[in-house]
Amino acid sequence: MNCFMCKGELEEKRVNYIVDLKETIIIIKSVPAKVCKQCGEQYFDDEIAENIERIVNKLKQLSAEVTIVNYKENVA
Ligand SMILES: [Zn+2]
């Protein structure tokens, strides 16, 4: 699999995923992703994307201004 944007090579990395909602900002640390070596575009597997969604849905109910969590600790 190559980058959809620039056809560059992807590498496995851990990234910080930031969700900027109006009321709150959620930062999920160390999310496994494939990152383009050329343009930095990030890609997530379906399973990871689903987990991210679940974490975000859970955390946005906390209504804290900023919430920082670790991906691994929030995936059972
Ligand atoms: Zn790229």
- Domain residue extents for the chain: 10-74
The CA-atom distances, in angstroms, between 65 and each of 25, 26, 75 are 6, 8, 22
Confidence (pLDDT) at 3: 98
CATH of domain 10-74: 3.10.20
CA 71 – ligand 1 centroid, Å: 24
CA 17 – ligand 1 centroid, Å: 18
CA 56 – ligand 1 centroid, Å: 26
Low pLDDT (below 70) residues in the chain = 76
73 neighbors 32 (Cβ within 8 angstroms): no
Q: Which amino acid is at 71?
A: Y
